[in-house]
């Protein structure tokens, strides 16, 4: 069986020790990340299989579904294993399939966090991430709301998402930011500067769309490297992320048991320097 243990460990913040290959649960929702999945049994099976294969970090958000994604996680894997970290997020609202609105209002964040605590059936959220800065609310105010929830014991550690380096600095002046979740993959390196800032400060970097949302063409350098490893281009995309930086913790998403197993098996793939160079050059 594939094992996430092959990816090694990372300690996020002072105390969240997880395997360096996680699982992003967002795909376990209806079309447009809205409404229920067609096959709830499959969603539960994927979540259980991830844990069985050694995943100790599951990423979700109250806005996935909304709410349903957190509920599936609870229903599939509660009571949680001692080493399982469930990271969720607040700060977005939903008005329909594919529609996302930012809301970084402190009262709203508190309401969302308290809802996540209830749905996940925990006393405190282990890693609570501010989903995105809200241009209508000063970023420091939104981050300050999470700081207050942390002081009250409702949040263990704080992460941020969809930020630039300045926003990382603003947040880090207010709280100990332990993780950043930005879009990043072998096909999309716009967040490189933020990744480098995370490396300098020892902050974990959770790339979202680590598989470029499933849009990696089976051609060029990545295809020949995949062939050499008897792997898929998606597995090479994950191996590249794992090799790219020790602070990277990929959270690939899938609703497929077969893809889940392939993604976790990628933890065992080791790319050599010339393969890394070829992939860097092929962006």
Ligand X SMILES: NC(=O)c1ccc[n+]([C@@H]2O[C@H](COP(=O)([O-])OP(=O)(O)OC[C@H]3O[C@@H](n4cnc5c(N)ncnc54)[C@H](OP(=O)(O)O)[C@@H]3O)[C@@H](O)[C@H]2O)c1
Give the active site residue among 64, 72, 128, 139.
64
Binding mask 84-123 for ligand X (x = CB under 6 A): ----------------------------------------
Rounded-to-integer distance, Cα 242 and Cα 156, Å: 26
Rg over CA atoms, the chain: 18
Asked if 47 interacts with ligand X (CB under 6 A), we say no
Residues 13 to 42 in contact with ligand X, rule: CB under 6 A: 24-27
Rounded-to-integer distance, Cα 160 and Cα 11, Å: 17
Asked if 50 interacts with ligand X (CB under 6 A), we say no
Find the length of the chain.
283
Please pick, from the candidates 13, 59, 203, 265, the single residue that binds ligand X as defined by CB under 6 A: 59
Q: Nearest Cα to 263, choosing from 283, 245, 236?
A: 236
Asked if 134 interacts with ligand X (CB under 6 A), we say no
160 with 168: CB under 8 angstroms? yes
Rounded-to-integer distance, Cα 218 and Cα 213, Å: 14
What is the token pair recorded at 205?
Answer: 């970097």
Residue nearest to ligand X (CB): 253
Q: How many residues bind ligand X (CB under 6 A)?
A: 27
Kindly state the smallest distance separating residue 183's Cβ from ligand X, in Å. Answer: 7
Whether 64 is catalytic is: yes
Residue 5: exposed, middle, or buried by beta-carbon count in 10 A (0-12, 13-18, 19+)? middle
Rounded-to-integer distance, Cα 43 and Cα 130, Å: 25
Q: Which residues pair with 180 in a beta bridge?
A: 160, 205
Kindly state the smallest distance separating residue 255's Cβ from ligand X, in Å. Answer: 4
Please pick, from the candidates 156, 162, 167, 179, the single residue that binds ligand X as defined by CB under 6 A: 162
Q: Which is nearer to ligand X, 147 or 212 (CB)?
A: 212
Please pick, from the candidates 112, 142, 157, 262, the single residue that binds ligand X as defined by CB under 6 A: 262
Residues designated as active site: 64
Site for ligand X, rule CB under 6 A: 24-27, 59, 131, 161-162, 181, 208-214, 232, 234, 251-256, 259, 262-263
């Amino acid at each position: 069986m594939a094992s996430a243990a092959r990816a090694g460990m990372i300690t996020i913040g002072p105390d969240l020790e997880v395997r360096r290959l996680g699982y992003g649960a967002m795909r376990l929702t209806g079309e447009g990340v809205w409404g229920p999945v067609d096959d709830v049994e499959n969603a539960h099976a994927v979540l259980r299989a991830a844990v069985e294969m050694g995943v100790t970090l599951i990423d979700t958000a109250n806005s996935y579904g909304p709410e349903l994604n957190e509920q599936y996680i609870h229903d599939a894997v509660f009571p949680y294993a001692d080493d399982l970290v469930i990271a969720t997020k607040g700060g977005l609202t939903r008005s329909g399939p594919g529609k996302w609105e930012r809301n970084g209002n402190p009262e709203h964040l508190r309401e969302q966090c308290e809802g996540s605590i209830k749905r996940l059936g925990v006393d405190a959220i282990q890693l609570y991430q501010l989903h995105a800065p809200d241009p209508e609310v000063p970023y420091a105010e939104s981050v300050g709301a999470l700081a207050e929830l942390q002081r009250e014991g409702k949040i263990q550690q704080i992460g941020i998402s969809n930020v630039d380096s300045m926003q990382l600095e603003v947040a880090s002046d207010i709280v100990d930011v332990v993780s950043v979740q930005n879009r990043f993959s072998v096909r999309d390196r716009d967040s490189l500067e933020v990744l480098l800032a995370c490396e300098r400060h020892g902050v974990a970097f959770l790339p979202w769309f680590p598989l470029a949302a499933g849009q990696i063409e089976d051609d060029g350098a990545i295809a020949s490297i995949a062939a050499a490893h008897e792997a898929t281009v998606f597995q090479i995309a994950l191996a590249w992320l794992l090799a790219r930086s020790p602070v990277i913790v990929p959270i690939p998403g899938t609703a497929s048991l077969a893809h889940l197993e392939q993604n976790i098996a990628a933890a065992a793939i080791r790319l050599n320097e010339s393969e890394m160079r070829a992939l860097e050059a092929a962006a």
